[in-house]
Chain A
Amino acid sequence: MATDPHRHRQHSQPSEGRISVDEDWAQLRTLLLAPEQTQLDELRDRLDNRSVEPREISRVLPEAFAIRGEGDQQMSTALTPYVENGFIATVRKSPQTIVDAIAPIMGPAIRQAITRALQSMTEAFNHSLDEGLSFRGFQWRLEAWRTGRPFAEVVLLHRLRYRVDQVFLIHRETGLLLHHIAAEGVVVQDQHVLSGMLTAIQHYVQDSFGASQDQTLNQFQVGEWTVWVEQGSRAYLAGVIRGTPPASLRERFRDVLDRIHAEQAESLVSFEGDAASFQAVQPHLEDCLQAHYEAPPSRSALKVWVLGGAVLLACFWWGWTAYQTHTRWSQFLTQLKTEPGIVVTNAHSTWSGYYLEGLRDPLAKDPSVMIQEGGIDPSMVSSHWSPFYALEPQLIASRARSMLQPPGTVQLQVKGDTLVATGSASIEWIKEARRLAVLVPGIVHYRDEGLVSVSVPDLLDRVNRAVIRFGPGSASIAPSDRLEVHAIADTLKDLEQAVSQSDQRVRVDILGWADQTGPAALNLNLSRQRAEAVLAILGTEYPRILTTVRIGTGTERMVTFRASLEAHPKEPEPARP
């Protein structure tokens, strides 16, 4: 309807009158239709120039993406390579931009991961430390060595009360896996296939028992693992748990599943096989990855008290023993220092016992005997003694007796530096004693005014005059007569001493007598028995005295002696070749 006013003006030129009319008309038309005319011109321009304006596209582009994306995944498929390339180019060109963009997300995630790793490591370390030195720990070390697993891991497994190894979020209708997480170190089979099998098993059980849709398989157990299934309207949660989980864990599963259903309601309803959107449920599933370990056995207070008491008793016993030993040692040292013939020069305790050093006269008391008498373990004492001559009177007397060998009838006494001999002795012994006495260490003078000399004939006579009497029919010596026999023995010793330096010896015949009562043979036997009884007391240990038993004939019940001197037989000379 609208026409070009300029063109219209060209056709109107021949007539001026009409020009005026046309101009008016045109003016009027311009006044009335100017806005519509402008719009018409713009529409014509658009029709003539069909090229797309970016500005116009920008207005509809977001809406167009949204509408196209609703239908299928082709838009995503088409854009994916360009988005990927763009991302790679950005990372290369300006990595800092990407770092700045993801830092708010990555920072907390990394911190959380490190915290968990440290907690796990600390827990493993604590358990290892607790069990490191116990018998059970030793058994677990063997197991770790046998299985090739780290000791900390073996400890954790034995301490494990329960641990959720894996959690599956599975679409209920299709059995397809929506999301899955597993605890660190858990070996995971193909979780997609496992999801299908878990679903198939549930269907199988439901069908087999004719159960309704509401009656579902909630739990099954395989060895040390328990599988808990928590059913939701669109999806179910399956937790693979090692050990014995508490009932509270089931409630946590329920809560998590409810939250997922609430947050992912739309995705669950429209699920067609793309589980990408369920990545967002990861934190919820991580809440289900619970683990609880047995606390280390707490040592009861009683045990601590018993242990402490035992230690205290041991300390007390040790202290008491040490005190007693020390006391005994002190007493022993005191006694040792007062013992004649012993001089202690060094005495101290060592880590294994005691050490003693000093001088000891050979005639002094043996220190090892004193140690035993003092109640001290001889193995604890190490000692070193150097010999010397002590000048204490009793030791000088002992030394004099040792050197002079006095007969039993002689008494020796030390008075200062003088040795005094009293009693009786043979002339020979008296002479020998005078020669040797001054050689005894500690003796300067020797006095024997009180010593009576006894000759060999006197001694022989003393023996010959002796008589030992017996009761009728008896060969046993009465106690009173025993003294007489001992006196004869002393006389024999004197005789031995007296003839020791000569070439003679003493012959003593012991004559046994019996009365005439009874048979003669019995009397002869009784006589012999009486002589032998006397000989048994006298002894035969005299090199220069020959004792023989003889039988006398008479009417007395007695034993008499017949002592005489005779030449001492010379020892046979060794045979010459």
Chain B
Amino acid sequence: MMQKKVCMLGGFAVGKTSLIRRFVTNVFSEGYHTTIGVTVEKKIVKVDHQELMLVLWDLYGEDEFQHVRESYLRGSSGYILVIDGTRKATLDTARVLQQTVVRTLGPLPFVAIVNKSDLRSEWEIDQPVIEQLQEEGWPVFFGSAKLGQGVDELFARLAAMLLSPAPPSRTSL
């Protein structure tokens, strides 16, 4: 089976771990987040009858994003950016993180998910901003850790991008 390393990136408490926890093979406790800053998990997705194993490196989110260990990013085939819809600052964090990845690894397939869609009324990120992101080439999804929505689509899209021979999405620096 084909395997790909994928990093989960996002600011502090955006809900990365909560979003994927119920969809992945969970072996290690979350305690590793605060010790070595990462937990590795696994998810198998099917794209056009072909199975793909995503080995997810769930990086500890912090607002001091410049402290993201670049060594953890190395070898990634793609990445997932997680944004908290109720905190606009997390979008800025995601932008910087995306630029960090591009600077470190070059352009790679990625998807973004705006979490907490169950609290839509409290969102600080409005539709024009999201459209702006999409225009910049960001595949944006909406999800809810609480309701368990949006995750399968997110992984399916990223898996398709990873298996596609086409060049990665247009990214902006």
Contacts and interface: CB of A to CB of B under 8 A. Distances in A.
Interface in B19-49: 25, 27-28, 32, 36-42, 48-49
A185 to B, nearest CB: 20
Given A77-B50, A190-B27, A193-B41, A177 B3 contact: yes
A200 B3 contact: no
Interface string A183-199: 00000011011111100
B2 A204 contact: no
B19 to A, nearest CB: 18
B74 interface: yes
Interface residues of B, number: 30
B165 interface: yes
Contacts of B37: 204
Nearest to B38: A200
A275 B52 CA distance: 12
Contacts of A206: 71
B39 to A, nearest CB: 8
A72 interface: yes
Nearest to A196: B40
Nearest to A71: B165
Contact of B75 (A73, A174, A274): A174
Given A193-B28, A194-B27, A273-B3, A200 B42 contact: no
Interface size class of A (residues with CB under 8 A): 20 to 34
A192 B49 contact: no
Interface string B2-19: 111100000000000000
B56 to A, nearest CB: 8
A197 B71 contact: no
A176 interface: yes
A148 to B, nearest CB: 25
B87 to A, nearest CB: 27
Contacts of B3: 176-177, 192, 273-275
B125 interface: no
B25 A200 contact: no
A142 interface: no
A173 interface: yes
B42 to A, nearest CB: 5
B55 A203 contact: no
A485 to B, nearest CB: 114
A207 interface: yes
B155 interface: no
Contacts of B38: 200, 204
A431 B143 CA distance: 144
Interface string A66-77: 000001111001
Contact of A196 (B48, B55, B69, B77): B55
A75 B48 CA distance: 13
B133 interface: no
Given A176-B3, A200-B36, A200-B38, A193 B55 contact: yes
A171 interface: yes
Interface in B37-81: 37-42, 48-50, 53, 55, 57, 69, 71-72, 74-77
Nearest to A76: B50
A98 interface: no
A190 B42 contact: yes
Contacts of A273: 2-4, 77
Contacts of A189: 27
A28 interface: no
Contacts of A171: 75
Contact of A173 (B49, B75, B163, B165): B75
B2 A201 contact: no
Given A71-B165, A176-B5, A193-B28, A204 B69 contact: yes
B166 to A, nearest CB: 10
Contacts of A239: none
A512 interface: no
Contacts of B72: 200, 203
B116 to A, nearest CB: 27
Contacts of A407: none
A174 B5 contact: yes
Contacts of A275: 3
Contact of A77 (B32, B49, B71, B77): B49
Given A193-B40, A193-B41, A72 B69 contact: no
B49 A197 contact: no
- Top 5 A-B residue pairs of the complex, sorted by shortest distance between their CB atoms: A196-B40, A174-B75, A203-B71, A173-B75, A204-B36
Given A200-B57, A207-B71, 10 more contacts: A73-B2, A171-B75, A189-B27, A190-B27, A192-B3, A193-B25, A194-B27, A197-B28, A203-B74, A204-B36
29 contacts: A73-B2, A73-B50, A74-B165, A77-B48, A77-B50, A171-B75, A173-B74, A174-B76, A175-B5, A176-B4, A176-B5, A177-B3, A189-B27, A190-B42, A192-B55, A193-B25, A193-B55, A194-B27, A196-B5, A196-B40, A196-B57, A197-B28, A200-B72, A201-B36, A203-B69, A207-B71, A272-B2, A274-B2, A274-B3
Interface of B: 2-5, 25, 27-28, 32, 36-42, 48-50, 53, 55, 57, 69, 71-72, 74-77, 163, 165
Interface of A: 71-74, 77, 171, 173-177, 189-190, 192-197, 200-201, 203-204, 206-207, 272-275
